[in-house]
């Protein structure tokens, strides 16, 4: 059985405890590798390695840091097929999606922040003839990056790239549910010549290594992406330690379809927004509000499109809808489908576990599921399911649509589908979310601020926001 290893001080090593967690392939339900269950001893070794190189890396020239990071991005590209396959096996996502989205974005993240590091500058504030202020932006030192399972390498690189480009040394923890591509990435770091200790990757559970990582006194900033409950826990346990925190959390995102939208394009894109990556994207639009005059017509076209999604083996290049990530998650999603019916919802399509034949007969597949007839306040419409389940509801007035959209504790993303320019701007401004798409979904420019409001998080990633998060500003005032 393949044993995944930690990456500490430039070496691939076993965990100090010698304990392992089992890693399951979601499409087959079979254990196929073992994950080191790291603990505070591994963390201490990683912190010591990071501390030893901290000054060197902070003073390495911007160009040299960018060169190393670009080499790493090139290595991701040249290993894209193997990485996409590893992601499909580890996560259950369709291999074509893994290659086009996950792996493509992983190298793009690194290349983007390699360049951002060379372009980043700080402010100065002149006080007439009296004085001038300039702001230094130094790296923070040792920072922690914790990522989830839905976009394993994509979100892992999205954090570590700006941290490294701005001169920090990093201790990173990928999700124990999907550790494989972070492990393969650690091998690419060695090949790219990343100096030992600059990045350390510790595998294991949230309890065993995530907890110690967030509370370690030498780790001065934590960039976390994951569930809102975990984010709240991290806020609580780090309170009083004065760490910088960036928390990218859950979502329950609204999709607002107005009667004047481009009908066909909207149907196609709203299906993608609801079901891409088996609905396991924090940005997925799982509450779909449709203006009443087109409700029935939209519903018919939407259901037909959802039914046409090809479910199957993630390794089949024609598969569009793969497995959900784990047995626990499969059961969670199925329990919400059950709940939706108890709450008075009607299943229009889907609603069951999907059983494949052959290699994937024990896989954790769920049919893409559409529910109708639910109240906005019910749990199905309020809680994050994070699976292939969406709810459709009619609305009559623009103001009502805005209220429905804003009527949850979350505030990550929204999409608005209309050809009325004034309404598009008006609604976008009224929506409580960090990201609003108009007539598109998941169109990403890496320079833009990314993050949520309300229970969807604190802080922003992306572009300069990330470079600012990973640096400490110091104002220097000089009198003339």
Which residues contribute to the site for ligand NAD (CB under 6 A)? Answer: 146-150, 155, 173, 175-176, 205-206, 210-211, 214, 225-227, 230, 233-234, 248-251, 282, 384, 386, 412, 452, 457
Residue closer to ligand NAD (CB basis): 36 or 250: 250
Chain centroid, CA 439 distance in Å? 22
Tell me how far apart the alpha carbons of residues 175 and 180 are, in angstroms, rounded to a whole number. Answer: 10
Residue least distant from ligand NAD (Cβ):
206
Residue with Cβ nearer ligand NAD (149 or 183)? 149
With a CB cutoff of 8 Å and minimum separation 6, the contacts of 90 are: 23, 25, 152, 178, 179, 180, 181
Q: Which residues of 354-370 are buried (b: 16+ CB within 10 A; e: fewer)?
A: bebeeebeebbbbbbbb
Task: Determine the 3-state secondary structure of 92 from DSSP.
Answer: coil
Active site residues: 248, 282
Shortest reach from residue 350's CB to ligand NAD, in Å: 21
Closer to ligand NAD by CB, 65 or 216: give it. Answer: 216
Nearer to ligand NAD (CB atom), residue 206 or residue 350: 206
Residue closer to ligand NAD (CB basis): 213 or 348: 213
Burial group, residue 9, by CB count within 10 angstroms (0-12, 13-18, 19+)? middle
Least distance from C-beta 25 to ligand NAD, angstroms?
17
Rounded alpha-carbon distances, angstroms, from residue 397 to 390, 400, 421: 21, 5, 17
Q: How far is the CB of 252 from ligand NAD (least distance, A)?
A: 9
CA distance 373 to 393: 7
CB of 147 to ligand NAD, least distance (A): 6
DSSP, collapsed to helix, strand or coil, labels residue 85 as helix
Least separation in angstroms between residue 146's CB and ligand NAD is 5
Question: Inter-axis angle of helices 152-165 and 180-192, to 10 degrees?
Answer: 40
Select 149 or 185, whichever has its Cβ closest to ligand NAD: 149
- Element housing 199 (H / E): strand 199-201
What span, in angstroms and rounded, lies between the C-alpha atoms of 101 and 319? 15
- Looking at 3-103, list the stretches that DSSP marks H as alpha helix, in order from N- to C-terminal side: 40-59, 62-78, 80-91, 95-97
Judge contact between 46 and 8, C-beta under 8 A: yes
Of 294, 290, 295, 273, nearest to 368 by C-alpha is 273
Cβ at position 170, least distance to ligand NAD in Å: 14
In angstroms, what is the minimal distance from the CB of 461 to ligand NAD? 7
Question: What is the spatial distance between Cα 307 and Cα 310, in angstroms, rounded to a whole number?
Answer: 8
Nearer to ligand NAD, 167 or 459 (CB): 459
Q: Kindly state the tokens that stand for 280.
A: 């396991």
Nearest residue (CB) to ligand NAD, 57 versus 437: 437
Residue 372 in tokens: 């109708």
Upper half-sphere CA count for residue 447 (Cβ side, 13 Å): 4
Minimum CB distance to ligand NAD, residue 200 (Å) = 15
SS3 category, 407 = coil
Angle at 40 between CA 38 and CA 42, to 5 degrees: 55
């Amino acid at each position: 059985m393949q044993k995944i290893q930690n990456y500490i001080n430039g070496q691939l090593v076993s965990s100090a405890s010698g304990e392992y967690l089992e890693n399951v392939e979601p499409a087959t339900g079979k254990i196929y590798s073992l994950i080191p269950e790291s603990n505070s001893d591994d963390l201490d070794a990683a912190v010591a390695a990071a501390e030893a190189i901290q000054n060197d890396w902070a003073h390495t020239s911007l160009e040299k840091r960018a060169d190393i990071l670009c080499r790493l991005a090139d290595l991701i590209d040249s290993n894209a097929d193997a990485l996409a396959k590893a992601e499909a096996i580890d996560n259950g996502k369709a291999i074509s999606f893994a290659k086009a989205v996950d792996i493509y974005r992983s190298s793009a993240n690194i290349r983007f922040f390699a360049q951002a590091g060379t372009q980043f500058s700080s402010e100065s504030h002149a006080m007439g003839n009296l004085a001038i202020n300039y702001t230094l932006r130094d790296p923070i030192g040792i920072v922690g990056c914790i990522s989830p399972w839905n976009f394993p390498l994509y979100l892992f690189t999205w954090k570590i790239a700006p941290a490294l480009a701005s001169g920090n040394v990093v201790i990173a923890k990928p999700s124990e549910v999907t550790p494989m591509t972070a492990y393969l990435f650690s091998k690419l770091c060695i090949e790219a010549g990343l100096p030992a200790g600059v990045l350390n990757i510790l595998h294991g559970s949230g309890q065993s290594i995530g907890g110690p990582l967030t509370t370690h006194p030498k780790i001065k900033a934590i960039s976390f992406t994951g569930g809102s409950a975990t984010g709240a826990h991290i806020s609580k346990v780090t309170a009083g330690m004065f760490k910088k925190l960036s928390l990218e959390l859950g979502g329950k995102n609204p999709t607002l379809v107005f009667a004047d939208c481009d009908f066909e394009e909207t149907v196609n894109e709203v299906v993608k927004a609801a079901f891409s990556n088996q609905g396991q994207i924090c940005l997925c639009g799982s509450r779909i509000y449709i203006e009443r005059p087109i409700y029935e017509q939209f519903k018919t076209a939407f259901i037909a499109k959802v039914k046409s999604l090809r479910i199957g083996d993630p390794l089949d290049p024609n598969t569009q809808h793969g497995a959900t990530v784990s047995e626990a998650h499969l059961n969670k999603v199925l329990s919400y489908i059950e709940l939706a019916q108890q709450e008075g919802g009607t299943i229009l399509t889907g609603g069951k576990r999907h059983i494949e034949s052959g290699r994937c007969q024990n896989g954790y597949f769920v049919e893409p599921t559409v529910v109708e007839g639910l109240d906005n306040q019910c749990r199905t419409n309020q809680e994050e399911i994070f699976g292939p389940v969406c709810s459709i509801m009619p609305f009559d007035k623009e103001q009502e649509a805005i209220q429905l959209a804003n009527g949850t504790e979350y505030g990550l993303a929204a999409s608005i589908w209309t050809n009325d320019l004034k309404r598009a701007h008006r609604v976008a401004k009224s929506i409580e979310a960090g990201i609003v798409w108009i007539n598109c979904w998941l169109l990403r420019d890496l320079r833009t601020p990314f993050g949520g409001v309300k229970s969807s998080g604190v802080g922003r990633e992306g572009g300069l926001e990330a470079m600012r998060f990973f640096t400490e500003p110091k104002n220097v005032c000089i009198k003339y």
